[in-house]
Amino acid sequence: MDFTKFSQSCVKCGKCIPTCTIHQFKRDEINSPRGFLDLLAAYKEGNLELDKEAKRVFESCFLCTNCVEVCPSHIRVDNAIEAVRYDIAKKFGIAWYKRLLLYFLRRRKALDIAAKFGFVFQSCAFALQNSGMRARFSLPFIKKGRLLPSFKQKSFLNQNTEFIYNGGEKSVGFFVGCLANYFYIESAKAVLSIAKELKINVDLMKGQVCCGAPHFFTGDFKSLEILAKKNVEYFEKKLESVEYIITPEATCSAMLSVDLEHFFTMIKEEQWAKRAAKIAPKIKLATWYFYEKTPLLELLKTKGKKDLLLTYHDPCHARKMQGVFKEPREFLKANYRFVEMSDSNACCGFGGVSMQSDYYENTLKVGFKKAKMIDESGASVVSAECSACRMQISNALTQNQSKAIFKSPLELIAEALKR
């Protein structure tokens, strides 16, 4: 990637700086989009060594795309950061605990086995509770006291048949995502419940593999290339028989419908980039599909309202990358009391594998700000169409001793349909 071209496109207007997630508490030029671009250009021109300090700076970016949203030229700073992380991975390698996680995410059968062992032995390392499990001690990827989602006895895909016929004339493919498949199964089940009510057939596409977002953000481009090509080929075949491929995960949807094309262009696989771009318009977040292509909203309006106050967090990969934000809100407002938090568009602080493992304290600082917004809204439930946000926000709420809980908008919609 031509980092110099990226830097020269920046007119130094500074609009990105107040919105930058890391700059909000680092407060220096280095830790800002404008600073990132200048450092990347210096690295490209040979004036900056890619040492451990540069590595730390480039890994500190949350990839929230706030800067891209406000930039007059919409410079894709996130893509530039993702590209340099490949160089970081080549020079420094990827830590063993991250390589282990990425290994399992690349191999579904191995992850199925690991998840079964995790379910059996999770009480040894974690204290189980209704909202998940809290670590009893610290490991490289897990900090003591941290709340994580608990393992399920059986993954979502292994619980269901390949094709679910609901008596409908049209069918959708379902890309479940790793977190919803193994941990937040209730989100995935909610999609099936909604589809059944609407008489839409669902192809679970059991040949799907991880979207590759964790590998992309960590610099493991070799694994991502394998996963991306498998998914593109598989989706091309599936789209011959399904109307859309829907997912309950903003990160997965953004990776598959936006970033795959960027990735293939980055590695100079132009034909694959064209193939990814061709299928992209058919890969959608579940709420977008149900809002735009079904009578779900009208159906919900017949179900009455529940006296439960909700607020909504906009996942970075939903609103900023895909323009999805009104759809889940319209659904939730149909059956629940709704209030906006002070800044729903602010990043929750998940940031990816490296951020969660190596810079956990930074994620907590951002998470606490989001937890405070939720508390100040007075809502009992916070919702977002993203399991990564769910993991981050649930932990922040727990650490902050907040009373609010997290639920997917799809779960709340499915609950409303039962009334």
Q: What is the pLDDT of residues 234-257, one digit of tens each?
A: 999 999 999 999 999 999 999 999
Is the pLDDT confidence value at 188 over 80? Answer: yes
Contact 134, 147 (CB under 8 A): yes
272 band by pLDDT with thresholds 50, 70 and 90 = very high
Distance, CA of 4 to CA of 39 (rounded, Å) = 10
Q: Mean pLDDT check: name the lowest of 150-159, 223-232, 241-250.
A: 150-159
Mean pLDDT for 263-275 is: 97
Q: pTM value?
A: 0.95
pLDDT of residue 138: 86
Q: Which residues contact 350 (CB under 8 A, 6 or more apart)?
A: 62, 356, 363, 388, 389, 391, 392
What CA–CA distances, in Å, run from 166 to 158, 185, 197?
Answer: 19, 20, 8
Q: Which amino acid is at 83?
A: A
Please count the helices (runs of H) and the strands (runs of E) in the chain.
24, 12
124 band by pLDDT with thresholds 50, 70 and 90 = confident
Contact 408, 186 (CB under 8 A): yes
pLDDT of residue 5: 76
Place of tokens 């930074």: 362
Q: Which residues contact 410 (CB under 8 A, 6 or more apart)?
A: 187, 190, 191, 194, 248, 286, 287, 385
Strand-pair category, 132-135 with 163-164? unpaired
Distance, CA of 206 to CA of 160 (rounded, Å) = 10
Distance, CA of 334 to CA of 249 (rounded, Å) = 22
